[in-house]
Amino acid sequence: MAMAPSSLPATTTPHVLLIPYPAQGHVNPFLRLAKALHARGFYVTFVHTEHNHGRLLRSRGPSAVAGAAADGLRFETIPDGLPHAELDATQDIWALCEATRRECPAHVRELVERLGRTEGVPPVTCVVADGAMGFAVHVAKEIGLSAYLFFTPSACGFLGYLNFDQLVKRGYVPFKDESCFTNGYLDTPLDWIAGMISNVRLRDLPTFIRTTDADDTMLTINIKQCEVDAPAADGILLNTFDDLERAALVAIRARLPNTFTIGPLGPEVSPPSYLPSLTSSLWKEDDRCVAWLDAQPADGSVVYVNFGSITVVTRDQMVEFARGLAAAGSPFLWVVRPDMVRDGEGETLPVPEGFAEEVAGRGLMVGWCDQEAVLGHRATGGFLSHCGWNSTVESLRAGVPMLCWPFFSEQVTNCRYACEEWGVGVEMARDAGRGEVEAAVRELMGDGEKAAGMRRKASEWKDKAARAVAAGGWSQLDLDRFVDEIARAST
């Protein structure tokens, strides 16, 4: 499978250091990229935080991160600057963003230097860091390496972040006071953002603008990533494809011309059979899911419910979801992470009493699943999702329409685009009760005109996504262009 980059002299092996932000939605696309680069003849070092490396070792055993050091794909770790106990209790991305920016630059520099002294390892020639680890660009540049940023959100979400500075300059952000959260202010139209759909509102932009504090951590970090880190990089990578987000990409390229669209980073780019033991899944999948789906007689009959790796819900919301799902009548596969229910400590599955018996045979609840296997299964017909970018793009790639229940960050932007622009989604209110959940699931899974239209659109996006990553597709060509560029920069 290994192929040398086309312009690479035989004597040189370029060495790419990949530094994802330490969260599930970031390490997944980064591991895909790692395998794709390794398959093209690069030496790759993948950097986990010690915490996540430990989690992978515990849940998967050594083969998940042992890598194939001899074959040029190795794993290294750096501390993330937070006490482990704190991370085990919560996925506090605010604390993690602050800590990584504070602690990691010195560790990245030390790692590059150490790898340079390690026998049998070619010197690092290029750093590809997560947009949320943008500090690494400056470290790389100081050492004289080429440096790229891989922003793992959608292009429309990234465009939202790119406009945070304008929102501040134009006085929309920070919010005047707490009343702005409830008085309709979030519905303010924003028709001046080039590249965004015309009816975009303040509420559709990444939720980190929802603050009354000009010095808010996530607001200022995101501005810095876009204003300082991204322009310092040699190029930007996005896990999307041109057909899907053309207008947003034009606007992004106007500011950051060397932007590569390499998505969807699915099995076409990085086949599961390639270095199969290497995984980035921080939870262990419940392997009953596919067998359960196999046993469902009707194609497209199952509603799949999963809110990703960070969303938390209250116990009351869980009860409303449970009641709504049960009443809607479709078979369902519902993933509830062990740490998902905020006030449900001690309960493994905080659902109403008698619920399991009530839905026996037509509902399966698990703690984590192989999402792509579930979305790609013939029995899956709809996805009740928090609209994380990976989930959204995986759903598009599988041709599965969505019921959108965004939680935070650019998930609200993805929701708006899924519903308004791509025609594959219907939004469910944040405070939806059982009746609304039932009605929304019935609409998604039913035979109505809206659902039929969403299925048709989803199937069109599935074809377009496949074309983007097929030989000669735009994303394949951009990946080739990126590979050639970093290979050339290494000589």
CB neighbours (10 Å) of residue 98? 16
Contact in structure between 291 and 377 (CB atoms under 8 Å)? no
> Contact at 8 Å (CB) between 1 and 39?
yes
Least Å from the CB of residue 432 to ligand UDP: 19
Checking 344-352 for CB contacts under 8 A at 24+ apart, the result is 344/315, 344/318, 347/315, 350/315, 350/318, 350/319, 351/318, 351/319, 351/322, 352/319, 352/322, 352/323
Out of 37, 96, 335, 441, the only residue in the binding site for ligand UDP (CB under 6 A) is 335
Q: Does 309 bind ligand UDP (CB under 6 A)?
A: yes
Q: CA-CA distances (angstroms) from residue 251 to 196, 259, 280, 389, 477?
A: 8, 11, 32, 19, 20
Stretch that binds ligand UDP, among 137-145, 216-224, 268-276, 362-370 (CB under 6 A): 362-370
Count of residues engaged in binding ligand UDP, rule: CB under 6 A? 20
Q: Which of 225, 240, 301, 306 forms a contact with ligand UDP (CB under 6 A)?
A: 306
Nearest-approach distance from CB 321 to ligand UDP, in angstroms? 16
Check residue 178 and report its DSSP letter: G
Between 285 and 485, CB nearer to ligand UDP:
285
Q: Is 239 in the site for ligand UDP (CB under 6 A)?
A: no
Helix, coil or strand: residue 470: coil
Q: Cβ of residue 380: shortest distance to ligand UDP, in angstroms?
A: 13
| CA nearest to 204, candidates 487, 477, 426, 416 | 416
Does position 72 bind ligand UDP by CB under 6 A?
no
Q: What are the start-end ranges of the H helices in 177-311?
A: 217-224, 230-232, 246-255, 289-294
245 or 394: whose CB is closer to ligand UDP? 394
Does the footprint of ligand UDP cover residue 308 (CB under 6 A)?
A: yes
Candidates 13, 207, 225, 281; binder of ligand UDP (CB under 6 A) is: 281
The Cα 386–Cα 388 span in angstroms is 6
Helix (H, G, I), strand (E, B) or coil at 152: coil
Tell me phi and psi for residue 32, to 5 degrees: -60, -45
Nearest approach, Cβ of residue 20 and ligand UDP (Å): 12
Contact range with ligand UDP by CB under 6 A, out of 56-64, 171-179, 366-374, 456-464 = 366-374
Does 76 contact ligand UDP by CB under 6 A?
Answer: no
Asked if 371 interacts with ligand UDP (CB under 6 A), we say yes
| Cβ neighbours of residue 473 closer than 8 Å, sequence gap 6 or more | 241, 467
Q: Name the segment binding ligand UDP (CB under 6 A); options: 102-110, 133-141, 340-348, 367-375.
A: 367-375
Binding mask 382-421 toward ligand UDP (x if CB under 6 A, else -) reads ------xxxx--x---------------------------
x/- site string to ligand UDP, residues 23 to 42, per CB under 6 A? xxx--x--------------
Residue placing its CB nearer to ligand UDP in the complex, 42 or 407:
407
Backbone angles phi, psi at 424, to 5 degrees: -115, 0
* Stretch in the footprint of ligand UDP (CB under 6 A) among 17-25, 82-90, 271-279, 483-491: 17-25
The minimum distance between CB 236 and ligand UDP, in angstroms, equals 18
Q: Give residue 44's identity as a one-letter amino acid code.
A: V
Q: What residues make contact with ligand UDP under the rule CB under 6 A?
A: 23-25, 28, 281, 306, 308-310, 335, 368-372, 388-391, 394
